[in-house]
Amino acid sequence: MEEGKRILATQLLDDNSHGNCSFFCENHLVAIELWKPKSNYHIPLFHTSHGRFTVPTTLHECSVGLPTFCNLDGSNLVNITQVDKIVTGDYGGGQVIFKNQDIKESINSANLSRWKQIYENAMNADREIRYIFGSEIKVVGKAAVSGFFKVGNMLSVDMWEPKKNYYVPRFHSGDRSYTIGLTAQACREAFPYLYPAYKDTLINLELVCEIECNAFGGLVRFAGSDFTCSMSHNKLKALKKLWN
């Protein structure tokens, strides 16, 4: 099976704690649910044939998972591979200028002094081929249709608050900004081929290997995964027509 897109994601361990921010392959995707890791957060949970993943929700996760991005000054990460040049200031520190952009980010004196090493580390990292699952932010507090955006095209990452006490990563590329995909609607838009098994749960029919009927409806099993999905009689009847 081809891998499909490599989607930026944080692996979940058996106790639901977060592992490393890495990726999962789209073609390995079994199902998507929404889960609640803390009181005011509802975020996607991706079940795959290679484990469980969720979206990165902190700048630290992004820092660990994005080796070409670095905190140069302040509370954001800068994509070093997109930097064109450095302009030094009169009192230490300076500014980084991005390629083909009229956008600048500050760099403090400590990082300026070790810029050569920072740049070499970023350029020697694996070529960035992953995608962000997210939505373009059109106006403050509003998001456009969800989809996939190349990590390597992003200039910087910071945190934003789409609603009160709800902080998630935001990616910037020129005059456009993108938020991590967070909602069931975002999942439906980005993964339109997945089947709506029940509220806020989408499944991949191509990986269904068994349907077990019972008095309440049925249980769907998937190749290469321990994940199972209970379904009502009506949903199961519709699924069988598509599956067969």
pLDDT of residue 132: 97
pLDDT of residue 142: 61
| Tokens 């999905």, residue located | 229
pLDDT by residue for the chain (244 residues), tens digit each?
Answer: 556 899 999 999 988 888 999 999 999 999 999 988 877 778 999 999 999 999 999 999 999 999 999 999 988 999 999 999 999 887 788 999 999 888 899 999 999 999 999 999 999 999 999 999 999 987 665 657 799 999 999 999 999 988 888 899 999 998 899 999 999 999 999 999 999 988 889 999 999 998 888 887 888 999 989 999 988 888 888 887 877 6
Answering whether pTM is above 0.85, one says yes
pLDDT of residue 235: 81
